[in-house]
Amino acid sequence: MQIAGIKQRLSLTAAQERYWPAVEKALRGLSERAVEYRKNLKKSTDGKVDAQVAEVEQLKAAALPLVTQLSDDQKSTVLVIANMAGLGSVVTDLFSGNDVASNNN
């Protein structure tokens, strides 16, 4: 996962930049887990990353504040990147607010 490339593709505004460090840290954690546990990484049968993996949960929590600040074009970019990484359903939940309710329980 090329995290710097993701940031560049998003063209974050100055106001959005303040949310990036937490997202970057969570992306690095998820990436490290994927490399370290490539053979054991929990995946569903369709190849998507299991949304219950702790690193995915950390990414969702870190990304939520940024996601609420993204433009529609930026959201489209995030969705394309997430789909390539097997995280499309995670991002879709964040965009729709489904994850907000589950994290408040």
- Per-residue pLDDT of the chain in tens (105 residues, 90 and over written 9): 589 999 999 999 999 999 999 999 999 988 877 666 555 545 544 555 555 578 888 888 999 999 999 999 999 999 999 888 888 888 998 888 754 434 433
Residue 71 has a pLDDT of: 95
Query: DSSP 3-state helix, strand, coil percentages of the chain (rounded to 5)?
Result: 70, 0, 30
Q: Rounded to whole angstroms, how far apart are CA atoms 76 and 9?
A: 11
Residue 37 has a pLDDT of: 54
The closest alpha carbon to 74, from 23, 33, 25, belongs to: 23
Residue 56 has a pLDDT of: 83
Q: Which residues contact 9 (CB under 8 A, 6 or more apart)?
A: 77, 81
Q: Rounded to whole angstroms, how far apart are CA atoms 51 and 12?
A: 25
Residue 88 has a pLDDT of: 87
pTM over cut 0.75:
no
DSSP designation for 43: B
- Domain limits, the chain: 3-100
The closest alpha carbon to 64, from 50, 45, 78, 76, belongs to: 78
Residue 65 has a pLDDT of: 93
